[in-house]
């Protein structure tokens, strides 16, 4: 059961939709919702001359303070009706560290897909990359275009690995809420198909009263990630559950490449390591 949800909020419309999704989840699970905004230091791009750095930093600081105020307003507006006991927290410093400090005491962390630490020159990856690796908690990564939905159709990326097992069990509260759950098995090309277990997971999930679709999609190809990405894009799903694999697949999933499932997905991705 989820009892503590943590959502990182910024002052954008994507931040508002992320809070709406968090409110929806907290309401349906009975969890306490905490909103957090971490204000980073002014990260002046290297292209500026030394004589202009102080002025640019001051201007950036004003913008960062404005974003912090907007984030708090969004959180309070979106929680006042359904979650009047929701908590608001603010911190200053590096965004990843600020979120990680609070993530230790939450059951699920909700982040934006392309939230960044600062300038791309010095922080090329969205913060979700570092949070998933560091925090030890499951993370729900929400694309900016996603709206809250009452129905929940979930796809599970399953290959029998430790990471997939961890993600699936971390997601049990969401799977119980789902209208349907589709298992997509990823079978390594070198594996023996006759001995690859595709039946035990549905049986196990059924014991948790989870509505698993009877058909199991099987993916087995040298380009399995591309095929899997296409299946998810074409499928009628609202959420993807997947494990964040350790090296070398970690570089694939979190390397910022256009083919990365996490950062190109148009549906929320539930991921744990």
Mean pLDDT, residues 28-44: 94
The per-residue pLDDT for 258 is 31
Confidence tier at 170 by pLDDT (50, 70, 90): very high
**In what helix (H) or strand (E) does residue 248 lie, and over which residues does it extend?**
none
Using alpha carbons only, how large is the chain's radius of gyration in Å?
A: 20
Location of structure tokens 């640019």: 56
Question: What count of Cα atoms within 13 Å lies in the side-chain half-sphere of residue 255?
Answer: 13
Residue 166: C-alpha distances to residues 157, 163, 194, 249, 266 (Å): 12, 5, 25, 16, 23
- Beta strands 269-272; 139-142: pairing state: antiparallel
Residues in a beta bridge with 90:
37
- Residue 124 makes CB contacts below 8 A (sequence gap 6+) with 256
The per-residue pLDDT for 194 is 61
Q: Which range among 46-60, 116-130, 146-160, 233-247 has the greatest average pLDDT?
A: 146-160
pLDDT at residue 96 above 90?
A: yes
Averaged pLDDT of the chain? 87
Q: Which domains, and CATH codes, for the chain?
A: 4-142 (3.40.50.620), 153-272 (3.40.50.620)
| Lookup: tokens for 113 | 């897909």
User: What whole-number distance in Å separates Cα of residue 43 and Cα of residue 111?
Assistant: 21
The per-residue pLDDT for 23 is 97
User: 217-266: per-residue pLDDT in tens?
Assistant: 887 755 556 667 777 777 889 999 998 864 444 444 444 333 367 778 88
Mean pLDDT, residues 92-121: 91
Would you give the DSSP letter of residue 42? P
User: What whole-number distance in Å separates Cα of residue 66 and Cα of residue 59?
Assistant: 11
Strands of 108-112's sheet, edge to edge?
Answer: 87-92, 32-39, 4-8, 108-112, 139-142, 269-272, 239-243, 153-158, 180-186, 217-219
């Amino acid at each position: 059961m989820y009892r503590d949800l943590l959502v990182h909020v910024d002052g954008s419309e994507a931040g508002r939709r992320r809070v709406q999704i968090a409110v929806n989840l907290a309401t349906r699970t009975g969890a306490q919702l905490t909103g957090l905004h971490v204000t980073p230091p002014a990260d002046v791009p290297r292209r500026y001359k030394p004589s202009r750095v102080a002025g640019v930093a001051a201007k950036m600081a004003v913008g960062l303070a404005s974003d912090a105020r907007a984030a708090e307003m969004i959180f309070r507006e979106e929680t006042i009706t359904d979650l009047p006991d929701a908590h608001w927290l603010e911190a200053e410093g590096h965004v990843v560290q600020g979120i990680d400090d609070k993530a230790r005491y939450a059951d699920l962390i909700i982040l934006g897909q392309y939230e960044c630490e600062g300038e791309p020159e010095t922080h090329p990856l969205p913060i979700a990359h570092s949070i998933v690796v560091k925090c030890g908690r499951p993370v729900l990564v929400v694309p900016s275009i996603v709206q809250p939905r009452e129905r929940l159709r979930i796809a599970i990326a399953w290959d029998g690995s430790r990471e997939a097992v961890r993600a699936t069990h971390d997601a049990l509260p969401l799977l119980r809420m789902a209208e349907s759950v589709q298992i997509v098995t990823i079978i390594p090309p070198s594996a023996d198909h006759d001995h690859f277990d595709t039946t035990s997971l549905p049986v196990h999930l059924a014991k948790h009263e989870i509505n698993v679709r009877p058909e199991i999609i099987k993916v087995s190809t040298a380009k399995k990630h591309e095929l899997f990405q296409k299946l998810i894009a074409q499928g009628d799903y609202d959420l993807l559950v997947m494990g964040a694999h350790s090296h070398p697949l970690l570089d694939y999933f979190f390397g910022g490449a256009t083919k990365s499932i996490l950062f190109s997905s148009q549906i929320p991705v539930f991921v744990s390591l």
